[in-house]
Structure 1
């Protein structure tokens, strides 16, 4: 696992599973920036949207067969990855999310500089014995990560309090503020939009339980769930007629711009991308008080934009209150846009990751990671 003698440019291997949603977006943002900076970039993943888009960007893409969750196939997944590492010979491995972090660290075992980015801790997503096993692994596996990259200080604090002794770095999530821009598409009635994978983590079931009370206070309000996922059928069974299931969309900006309010009622996160995207589009957001949420909001907005997770009553009251106060929504949207521009631009994120790479590669100079082209174009 060493640099090619004929090409001195460092080679970065991004290892990812899952291959959609926020994880894919982060990998693609970094890939775009790193290719522009002159690095050689390989993305290893089980196909899907991530592989397709990374190939379009000009990265080398390697197929790595792996299920989303740990299981009986883990040994073969690690074996395949070990073989792939021998072929790619990366200078640095950047593993994204729990499954890639598990298999990647088992395959590399610290032999080359390794970054692990949890994108929310695995032990928060499960319960009982499974959570205990996940936590035990994270404590053990931290020795094989030269840096554990958290997307919020709250995510780092969760890891520390859980007994994960690691060399942490906090790099807040960023989004492309030149792609996500304000615009307004008027809707016929007050419109609430929730963007995210239809799964327990994102909490759409809590929002649906809150929705009848929202309708009682704001008759005629509409709710749109944008995204797909494993809980889609179950959510449709409990949704009233005023809820629209938009499915997965190629361009989410029209939904943000049409929204009077964007809501993400997550049960856990590291730092969600959807609220950042919505704020970049000038829309007010309402999020649950999970890891990264407070840090993603402008100072002073928590009182209006933050609710406890898993509480439909509190969520309903906050949604209705914001829908009934257009002046407050306009102010929140304006301040949110300015905050994201100054704090969560993807170019800042890419440069912070580049600095970590420089440290781990022994201070070898890298070209500027500034990238003015959008990965969405």
Structure 2
């Protein structure tokens, strides 16, 4: 990922509030690739394991204390970023997800080339008056992003149809094929779940335990699945605000693995990986599972159809918030090991050809090259004090 022969190399400032899950993995992989390419990489994020990992990679990390949702702390968070940007003096700012996109664009206000990457739109995460406020903010702040990077064409279309006018670039999410690869199911499973019957059908769901990821819908579907496939087990990998309620309602056939540093073994151990999200941009979990050669069932939200080869869609896509259809798809695949094997092979080939993280990093580098080669357009120029 070579940008130019400039001396010194450009400094990129990544802003992120989520410090776990898919956004954190995207930031980590971009930082890794950009550091390897010789860029000066700085990251502002809350103190966390993510901050430690980025520092170990060689990034300059600044603690940015920020809550996940907008609220009374926003003014303080923007001021912190403003001072940080004045100290770091980046050539380009890359803001990830809703909160950093909000605070970052308010702090920069177009005076530095700014890339905003929604990782799913903020107005999809809320309802009622909050959704209207979030949509209004996205429309108004679009002028402060020199480029909006969407992880799927569906995510871009959601923004366009919502009236968010900007310069869009679609860069699909990528995964590291050296980290996510097939392995012997029995061996991996014995290491993770030594007390589990090796013959038990195993479904795995990897994701933050929250409304977005839809584990509550999966639990509603699970009763039907276990009626049709006795002995089946479900493992929820991750943690989050819905952990308590989910544990309270889960039957004994559902296991909770908690947050893990490496989800790859859980994909490798699964017969089937399920992600019943209510909304996404393009989820990483199905890509990672397919790279491990595992079949998936996902809800048809933004990015889902684009992440699958066309031949998988009839078996692997279900409507969101529909426990009955989800249960039917999971049951069909658990009952048909030959079909699972075929879908797993097809999914892996597709991911390796179209979702390699190296392709993603190079596409982001091309966006950076374009923005750094041209002055900030006049419509984006605005003093931070105006």
Aligned equivalents of 2:143, 2:261: Cα separation in 1: 39
Counterpart of 1:352?
363
1:202 aligns with 2:213: yes
Report the alpha carbon displacement of residue 7 of structure 1 after superposing the two structures with TM. Answer: 5.4
TM-score normalised by L of structure 2:
0.92
Report the alpha carbon displacement of residue 298 of structure 1 after superposing the two structures with TM. Answer: 0.9
Counterpart of 1:289?
300
Superimposed CA distance per residue, residues 83-125 of structure 1 (whole angstroms, 9 cap, x where no aligned partner): 0000000000000000000000001011011000000000000
Report the alpha carbon displacement of residue 331 of structure 1 after superposing the two structures with TM. Answer: 0.4
Structure 1 unaligned spans of 5+: 1-5, 365-377
Alignment of 1:302-321 (within 5 A): 302-321=313-332
Tell me the SS of whatever aligns to 1:50.
Answer: helix
Report the alpha carbon displacement of residue 49 of structure 1 after superposing the two structures with TM. Answer: 2.1
Of stretches 43-52 and 161-170 in structure 1, the one that deviates more from structure 2 is 43-52
Counterpart of 1:155?
155
Aligned equivalents of 1:275, 1:56: Cα separation in 2: 28
Alignment of 1:88-167 (within 5 A): 88-167=88-167
Counterpart of 2:350?
339
- Over aligned residue pairs, what C-alpha RMSD do you find? 1.2
Contact 1:55 1:61 in 2 (8 A): yes
1:233 aligns with 2:244: yes
Aligned equivalents of 1:189, 1:33: Cα separation in 2: 40
Counterpart of 2:382?
none
Report the alpha carbon displacement of residue 19 of structure 1 after superposing the two structures with TM. Answer: 1.1
Structure 2 unaligned spans of 5+: 1-5, 187-197, 376-386
TM-score normalised by L of structure 1:
0.94
Contact 1:289 1:309 in 2 (8 A): yes
Contact 1:225 1:244 in 2 (8 A): yes
Superimposed CA distance per residue, residues 344-376 of structure 1 (whole angstroms, 9 cap, x where no aligned partner): 000000000000000000079xxxxxxxxxxxx
Counterpart of 2:190?
none
1:263 aligns with 2:274: yes
Contact 1:124 1:131 in 2 (8 A): yes
Report the alpha carbon displacement of residue 184 of structure 1 after superposing the two structures with TM. Answer: 2.3
Aligned equivalents of 2:265, 2:21: Cα separation in 1: 18
Counterpart of 2:177?
177
Report the alpha carbon displacement of residue 155 of structure 1 after superposing the two structures with TM. Answer: 0.2
Superimposed CA distance per residue, residues 216-242 of structure 1 (whole angstroms, 9 cap, x where no aligned partner): 110110000000000001001111100
Structure 1 stretches of 4+ with a deviation exceeding 4 A read none
Tell me the SS of whatever aligns to 2:69.
Answer: coil
Superimposed CA distance per residue, residues 32-89 of structure 1 (whole angstroms, 9 cap, x where no aligned partner): 0000000000000111122111001000001111111110111111111100000000
Report the alpha carbon displacement of residue 300 of structure 1 after superposing the two structures with TM. Answer: 2.0
Aligned residues: 359
Aligned equivalents of 2:374, 2:266: Cα separation in 1: 43
